[in-house]
Amino acid sequence: MLNQFPIWKNLLVAFVVVVGVLYALPNLYGQDPALDIAAQRQATINEELIATVKDALQRGGVAIKSMESQDGRLLVRFNSPDDQLKAQSLLAEVLPADQYTQALNLVADVPDWLTALGGKPMSLGLDLRGGIHVLIDVDMDAALAQAVDRYRGDIRSLLRKEKIGYLSVNTKDLSVVVRLRDADALDRAEKLIGNEFRDLILKPEEKDGQYRLVASLSEDKQRAVKRFALQQNITTLRNRINALGVSEPLVQQQGERRIVVELPGVQDPGRVKNILGATATLEYRLVDTEHDVQDALEGRVPAGSRLYRERNGQPILLKKRVIVTGNQITDASAGFDQRSGQPSVNVSLDSQGARRMRNVTTDNVGKPMAVVFIEDRIVGRDAEGKPIKRRIEEVINVATIREPFGARFQTTGLDSPAEAHDLALLLRAGALAAPIEIVEERTIGPSLGKDNIEQGFVSVVVGMLVVMVFMAVYYKVFGLVADLALLTNLVLIVAILSLLQATLTLPGIAGIVLTVGMAVDANVLIFERIREELRVGNTPQASIHAGYAKAFSTIMDANITTLIAAIVLFSIGSGPVRGFAVTLAIGIVTSMFTAIIGTRAVINLVYGGRRVSKLAV
């Protein structure tokens, strides 16, 4: 018979609706302010820690709503944001910062039975939740210059190893310029460097009795260097943010040289900018005890040494050759020296760094070794508002090598525990492959995010009500069925966003509002087609069947073209555009299901399988 679905199809529609309602349900529950405490390295979440947290909060007069431990994390829920912030301050005094991180978070108050089924609320974007948005530019010219400088050192070492006489090896305009003694040395150097470094373009020059070999980076190598610098910086920034204890951070590439960082819930831009833009690292060098510091101060610096100053201003002469650098540090933690009580950083080296440190300390027992602290600091801004950076290089510690050591040791000489903690964080996260500059920064307060949610909710409700009233008045019973499909469509969109844990942003809400308007297009086409069939004298049952059958191709064409547009937006768009594209694409798929299959199922139940003389359409 016409207009009757088989039982399995009705059951399928019912199953989809029930599942949609189930997984959209978590979004109706409120959110609790919470602290997410995570253990770092050797620290653990155990009963002793839980007792310490409870005791500290009870003594501080902070009420705990609940506390749960899972996957190496401790989640403490509170009744208000004020209690959350107060608890963070209290726990910062009792939990070692290098062992535990605290992340401010909002946790859904979803019942356990719904959580057991995998029910979670949608993730909210920065514009809805509040936090910090930072756009970072990577200095690609500096990355290329660093790569050329590494080649300079490698080429010099190679020439020395093969005993090829040269006058100098310098860098100029992103090229390594090697001055050689004669034509034979030029030929040998060209063959040797060409075989060893195939990424370099070699250009031998002979003029006025001078022999030069210019080695430049190939285009492919330059692109590879830039790509590596960007990816390395993304990894380093992500490590630094994870160490800060930020919940659900976003760090992603934008274009060929920029990085977007979004930190939901964070409201301290100064602290974040200092950690993101910092380039602090350490270098370990031997002290030059063979030459006089006074001669160096008068301009007579030995060829293999360099003049530094300690933090108290005292000059000191160090060897140019670096023993190990921050790039070879695999782990670092802040603490205190047991003998002096001074802040310290406990350092662990990789295998190559440990081997080199052991070799140097074995050969130099009884001699002093210095620790150089290097940091790029912003000291002001120029007339255009761009930051003015100055490199600070100072000796923070000089100690005599008492016995050989390798992979693990301690560095002291830091000004404060806070400096030791930040330095340990930066060393753990790794060095930036190229300098960065923060070109855009926005801080969105939680109250503004709350206003955005309320306004977005109102816009969806108002849009739905207007559409539903119009459909009910104009199409009567069929309009009411379309309204039911529209409500179901919204539920399914929310359910899919929750299941995928896709981030809902303000543009995403705009996509939902647009979907609400577009979702009834298919029903309008179907209902108008049914009216036309009735006007030409077809029976009500035949008109319903023809209306859905003949409008199907038009509906498919319209929705597929819109879906293609949404996919293109998602592919080439940035964060906000992608949020709009995601909700639009999901809305298109769900609206086709509800408008074509969902409404047909309901219409079949109302009119199908019986004689009908008139349709309320």
**Confidence at 181, pLDDT banded by 50, 70, 90:** confident
Pairwise CA distance, residues 422 & 243, whole Å = 10
Q: Give every CB contact of residue 475 below 8 A, 6+ residues apart in sequence.
A: 482, 523, 527, 617
Residue 72 DSSP code:
T
Higher pLDDT, 460 or 568: 568
Spatial distance between the Cα atoms of 333 and 98, rounded to a whole number of angstroms: 6
pLDDT of residue 18: 92
- Predicted confidence (pLDDT) per residue in 272-295, tens digit: 666 676 656 678 889 998 888 888
The residue ranking higher by pLDDT, 608 or 164, is 164
Q: Which domains does the chain have, with CATH numbers?
A: 7-26+445-607 (1.20.1640.10), 31-109 (3.30.70.260), 141-218 (3.30.1360), 280-376+392-416 (3.30.1360.200)
Report residue 520's pLDDT band, with 50, 70 and 90 as the boundaries: confident
What is the pLDDT averaged over residues 10-18?
A: 90
pLDDT of residue 377: 61
438 within 8 A of 145, measured Cβ to Cβ:
no
Q: What is the pLDDT of residue 131?
A: 74
Residue 42 has pLDDT above 60, yes or no: no
**pLDDT score at 291:** 87
Instruction: Please answer whether residues 579 and 481 qualify as being in contact, where contact means their C-beta atoms are separated by less than 8 angstroms.
Output: no
Q: Is the pLDDT of residue 616 over 90?
A: no
Q: What is the pTM of this model?
A: 0.59
What is the DSSP secondary-structure string of 490-544?
HHHHHHHHHHHTPEE-HHHHHHHHHHHHHHTHHHHHHHHHHHHHHHTT--HHHHH
pLDDT digits (tens, 9 = 90+) for 216-274: 888 888 888 888 888 878 877 877 776 665 656 778 888 888 888 887 766 556 566 66
Separation between Cα atoms, residue 545 and residue 480, nearest integer Å? 19
Q: Please tell me the distance from the alpha carbon of residue 599 to that of residue 534, in angstroms, as a whole number.
A: 19
Dihedral over Cα of 360, 364, 365, 371: its sign: negative
Q: What is the pLDDT of residue 516?
A: 76
C-alpha R_g of the chain: 34
The residue with greater pLDDT, 430 or 140, is 140
Identify which of 268, 133, 225, 178 has the alpha carbon closest to the alpha carbon of residue 574.
Answer: 133
Higher pLDDT among residues 403 and 413, named by residue: 403
In the predicted model, what is the mean pLDDT of residues 580-608?
86
Ramachandran quadrant class, 72 (left: phi over 0; alpha: psi -120 to 50; beta: rest): left
Query: What integer pLDDT is reported at residue 93 of this predicted model?
Result: 82
Using CA atoms, how far residue 246 sits from 77, 363, 444, in Å, is 16, 45, 15
- pLDDT, tens digit (0-9, with 9 covering 90-100), for 100-111: 777 777 777 888
Mean pLDDT for the chain overall: 80
449: CB partners within 8 A, 6+ apart: 124, 126, 127, 128, 129, 130, 131
* CA gap 448, 133 in Å, rounded: 14
Q: Which helix (H) or strand (E) holds 591?
A: helix 575-592
Single out the residue of 216, 153, 157, 162 nearest to residue 184, CA to CA.
162
Torsion of CA 510, 516, 521, 524, to 10 degrees: -150
- Does the pLDDT of residue 482 top 80, yes or no? yes
381 burial level (CB within 10 Å; 0-12, 13-18, 19+): exposed
pLDDT at residue 342, rounded to an integer: 78
**Contact (CB, 8 A) for 236 and 432:** yes
Residue 15's pLDDT band (boundaries 50, 70, 90)?
Answer: very high
**Is the confidence at residue 41, as pLDDT, over 60?**
no
pLDDT in tens, 537-550: 888 888 888 888 88
pLDDT at 265 (0 to 100): 63
User: So what's the pLDDT on residue 426?
Assistant: 62
According to the per-residue pLDDT averaged within each range, which of 146-150, 261-265, 336-340, 367-371 is highest?
Answer: 367-371
